[in-house]
Structure 1
């Protein structure tokens, strides 16, 4: 019996590497690594040698023994400190990246997939559900304002029964049957409209049954330093935007 699959999964967990990150490290496909871990496929000898050398583990230990966490960390105190720090004080927030975005639409409800996503460790309420999202486009920008590529937003989970309580113009991270969208949210009794800040992008209308997950954006980390903004003016513009949406609905 080979312990290879079980051992590489333990290595990933100890080193805090997602399946995608581990696979890229050794020039493997994510699906191939998954097959190794689930013992549906055997690795080539070159792959075994690369992994053993990289982590300073003998090939014999990698294949024939179940590796212990202490052996991988070299000493126990480091594990105790790391585990206590993350667990007791910080929420571990899975973060969707451009590389995992397509897979997320397919596997958003698979616990193993979510566990393998990169994690953000933040001092937030650990009782709530959060999701991070690394922005990769200019859809929520307007000239030099808004959210830019490499900015990170943090969304709080909205349960299905609470969709009707979302305030219009809220910034929402939406997982649909086909893609992930970061948009301003507007809702009437008949439909849901999603609006980008970038005026070159048309509004989208979606049906409730197309929604798989919804997260209300609560926090953001900006790669650039924002200029001082007139908060009162921003609030007035948001109000006018909402009134315009209502008028447009009345005239249809």
Structure 2
């Protein structure tokens, strides 16, 4: 039995995308995504291939395997047998816990002043992890569980054409919010809501981050 519908729903949820946002990534309608998730229809093979490539999921796994959250976030590949964990080289990532949000001005956006957590993300890219709480200003479509840890990857010029309708974070001195990127012509904005947004300046990308994934408990 095909797993494409349940896997699309799980991909969308883990990546924090609404049905509309997911649909726009692949030139589909929200109704298309709804019908796939409810298994009333299946996407064409070219669409399925695009989804697999976009999220770096093997096509056969997307079609026939019930993907786990760890597989979607690429964590499974990083864990080794328990006996060899001591030899692993996990990534140290600057970490903003809920306590740090009370004194953002103390760190002034300097990641070197933050404590670090060790996590199995093997990538040369720069990451920032934050402990989510509803006091953090966030876009209305960005859903999360209180206390979950979200990972953000530093935005770079080569990925600017891929960030439309993607979630991201702006962090500079005492200002931090999670918004959604919008690309129109050559203008890129990160919007928190209809009234607050910042223009992405390619010369100041150190303040902009792209949402990469989330780690949270699965509640019964």
Q: Could you state the TM-score of these two structures normalised by the residue count of structure 2?
A: 0.47
Q: Could you state the TM-score of these two structures normalised by the residue count of structure 1?
A: 0.42
Q: Which has the higher contact order (CA 8 A, sep 6+)?
A: 2
